[in-house]
């Protein structure tokens, strides 16, 4: 799909438009753009390149830039969609393969202006995307706050079923792991946007208005603050995962401690039973009238002594 926006409200031919937005363009649309502006329209394979030299290029005065953008919102999958930008003094070309409400927002803002230039549209797109990244970071921060409240809940520890507790903690670890993956994607997107802003400000300084250069520098400053915030969230993710894993280990150790104490407590009674169950002919206890109660009491006493010892040592 091809959308072209003239720099003024008056209708204009394609070659006179200041911004051309291409969404999954056809070969005919590519050919039309290349003929009208004399620019190369990046292909999907070129946009997907990950090398820095491929993402930022200067060709005959035109700035070719690509970045993986997270265009999803809400509960949609946060899958980066590679997007291409071609910025010149005459026109801005945007090439993407996924719809985006943030591009549509900039379209509405631009069309409401009396006049605009390609660099202004580029700056507004960057600002809209950065606002979107900030919203995603805030949502992730809120999710981590919820997970943190569950793991580090105040008050005495709850004595629920161990299997339920372990299952809940495993679920929390999965949630924090998913958040960590999202943070990595957001971080990479922010880094790419920062490179684009600095590249445009440096290479287009001769023909981009000074106020827009200042806005691009402000964009870089905003990105730097978001990157720091994202790094803090990544550290929180690691802390929460370590805490959840530690609690699971503590619960498992408690189970092993109970099993160990039970096995130790059961050894002396078993020894007593083994002695009086040997059936030797000359065992004097066989002739006792109270021999059976005596053996029972001895079994109970030998079982209680290890428990008293563990309690005295504060092991239980």
Using the CB atoms, write b or e for 64-101: b if 16+ within 10 Å. bbbbbbbbbeeeeebebbbbbbbbbebbbbbbbeeebe
Q: Where are the domains of the chain?
A: 2-252, 256-312
Q: Where are the alpha helices (DSSP H) in 38-151?
A: 44-47, 52-55, 101-111, 118-151
pLDDT tens per residue, the chain (316 residues)?
777 777 776 566 777 788 898 888 888 888 888 888 888 888 888 888 878 778 899 988 899 999 888 877 666 667 788 899 999 998 999 998 888 888 888 888 887 777 788 999 999 999 999 999 898 889 888 888 888 887 887 655 555 565 677 777 778 888 888 888 888 888 889 999 999 999 999 999 999 999 999 999 999 999 999 999 988 888 888 888 888 888 777 777 777 888 888 888 888 888 888 887 787 777 777 777 788 888 888 888 888 888 888 888 777 7
In this prediction, residue 127 carries a pLDDT of 93
**CATH number listed for the domain at residues 2-252:** 3.30.460.20
Q: Hunting for tokens 């078993």 — which residue is that? A: 270
pTM: 0.76
Torsion of CA 110, 116, 119, 120, to 10 degrees: -50
């Amino acid at each position: 799909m091809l959308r072209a926006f003239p720099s003024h409200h008056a209708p204009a031919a394609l070659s006179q438009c200041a911004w051309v937005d291409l969404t999954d363009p056809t070969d005919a649309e590519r050919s039309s753009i290349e003929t009208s502006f004399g620019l190369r329209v990046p292909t999907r394979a070129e946009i997907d390149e990950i090398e820095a030299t491929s993402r930022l290029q200067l060709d005959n005065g035109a700035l070719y830039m690509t970045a993986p953008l997270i265009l999803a919102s809400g509960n949609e999958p946060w899958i980066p969609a590679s997007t291409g930008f071609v910025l010149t003094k005459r026109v801005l070309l945007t090439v993407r393969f996924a719809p985006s409400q943030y591009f549509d927002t900039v379209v509405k803002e631009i069309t409401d202006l009396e006049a605009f230039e390609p660099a202004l549209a580029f700056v507004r797109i960057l600002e809209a995307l950065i606002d979107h990244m900030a919203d995603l970071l805030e949502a992730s921060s809120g999710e981590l706050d919820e997970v943190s409240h569950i793991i580090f809940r105040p008050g005495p520890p709850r004595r629920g079923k161990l299997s339920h507790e372990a299952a809940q903690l495993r679920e929390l670890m999965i949630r924090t792991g998913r958040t960590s993956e999202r943070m990595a994607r957001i971080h990479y997107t922010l880094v790419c946007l920062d490179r684009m802003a600095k590249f445009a400000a440096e290479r287009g300084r001769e023909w981009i208005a000074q106020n827009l250069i200042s806005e691009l520098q402000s964009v870089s400053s905003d990105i730097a603050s978001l990157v720091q915030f994202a790094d803090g969230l990544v550290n929180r993710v690691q802390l929460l995962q370590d805490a959840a894993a530690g609690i699971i280990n503590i619960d498992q150790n408690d189970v092993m401690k109970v099993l160990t104490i039970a096995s130790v407590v059961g050894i002396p009674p078993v020894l007593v039973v083994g002695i009086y169950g040997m059936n030797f002919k000359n065992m004097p206890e066989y002739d006792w009238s109270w021999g059976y109660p005596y053996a029972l009491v001895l079994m109970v006493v030998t079982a209680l002594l290890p428990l008293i010892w563990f309690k005295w040592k504060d092991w239980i």
